Amino acid sequence: MTPNSNAMAESREQHPPEPGTRDRILIAGLGRTGLDYACAFALHPGAEVAGFVEERSDLRRFARTAGFTAPAEATLSRWLEKRPADTLVVCAPAAEAAEMVEKGVNAGLAVLVHGLSAMPREAVDRIEKAMTLCDRPVAAGSAVLFQATFARARRTGALSPLGLQHVRASASVSRVFSASAARGRDVVDFLLTDLLLLLDASFGPMTHVRAQGTRLYGDWLDECQLEAKFAIGLAAKVEVSWSVPGYPGAAMVIEGSGPEGRVIVSDDALEMDLSSLQGRVVAASEPSFARSEGGEAPAVVEGWLRALSGDVVSAEALSVTRALRVARVVDAVRHSIAADGSEREVMS
Partner 1 sequence: MKRSPLEVPKLVLGIASLALPVRTTRDRQLEVSARFREPESLAVALVKGIAAGAEAVLAPPIADVRNALDELNKDLPVLARVPHLSPSDDLRYEPALMFDPADGEDASAWNANRAGAAAMNLLPVSLAGDLASKVLPRIEREAAVFTPGALRGIVISSAATDLALAADQAKFVDRLVRVAHSRRWLVGFETRNLGHLLSRLSRWGVAPDFLMGALNPRGVGMMPDAASVLAAIRESSVKVIATELRAGGMVALDEGAAWARRHGAWGVCPELVDMDDVPKELKGLAIRPAA
Contacts with partner 1 by CB under 8 A lie at: 30-32, 35, 38-40, 42-43, 57-62, 64-69, 72, 93, 174-175, 177-181, 183, 185, 190, 246-249, 251, 266-269, 282-285, 288, 290-294
Minimal distance, residue 291 CB to partner 1, in Å:
4
Q: How far is the CB of 19 from partner 1 (least distance, A)?
A: 20
Shortest reach from residue 8's CB to partner 1, in Å: 24
Report the run of H or E that residue 52 belongs to, with start and end. strand 47-53
- Closer by beta carbon to partner 1, 162 or else 179: 179
Are 192 and 330 in contact by the 8 Å Cβ rule? The answer is: yes
How many Cβ atoms sit within 10 Å of the Cβ of residue 180? 7
Q: 10 Å Cβ neighbour count for 13?
A: 7
Q: Is 203 helix (H, G, I), strand (E, B) or coil?
A: helix
- What does the radius of gyration of the chain's CA atoms come to, in whole angstroms? 20
d(CA 30, CA 38): 9
Q: Smaller CB distance to partner 1: residue 249 or 259? A: 249
3-state helix, strand, coil in the chain (%, to 5): 40, 25, 35
Give whichever of 282 and 338 is closer to partner 1, judged by the CB atom: 282
163 Cα distance to chain centroid: 28
- Nearest CA to 343 out of 182, 215, 235 is that of 235
Q: How far is the CB of 93 from partner 1 (least distance, A)?
A: 6
Residue 202 in contact with residue 234, Cβ under 8 Å?
no
332, containing H or E segment: helix 320-338
Residue closer to partner 1, measured from CB, 54 or 128: 54
Query: Least distance from C-beta 234 to partner 1, angstroms?
Result: 26
Cβ nearer to partner 1, comparing 38 with 123: 38
Which one, 177 or 217, has the nearer CB to partner 1?
177
Residue nearer to partner 1 on the CB measure, 128 or 194 = 194
Are 206 and 229 within 8 A, CB to CB?
yes
DSSP 76: H
DSSP per-residue codes, 57-71: HHHHHHHHHHT--S-
Instruction: Residue 158: count other Cβ atoms within 10 Å of its Cβ.
Output: 24
**Phi, then psi, of 213 in degrees rounded to 5:** -125, 150
Minimum distance of partner 1 from residue 47's CB (angstroms): 12
Q: What is the closest distance, in whole angstroms, from the C-beta atom of residue 13 to partner 1 in the complex?
A: 30
Residue nearer to partner 1 on the CB measure, 66 or 338: 66
Q: How far is the CB of 63 from partner 1 (least distance, A)?
A: 8
CA dist 267 and 271 (Å) reads: 11
Q: Minimum CB separation from partner 1 for residue 16, in Å?
A: 26
Q: Which is nearer to partner 1, 135 or 268 (CB)?
A: 268
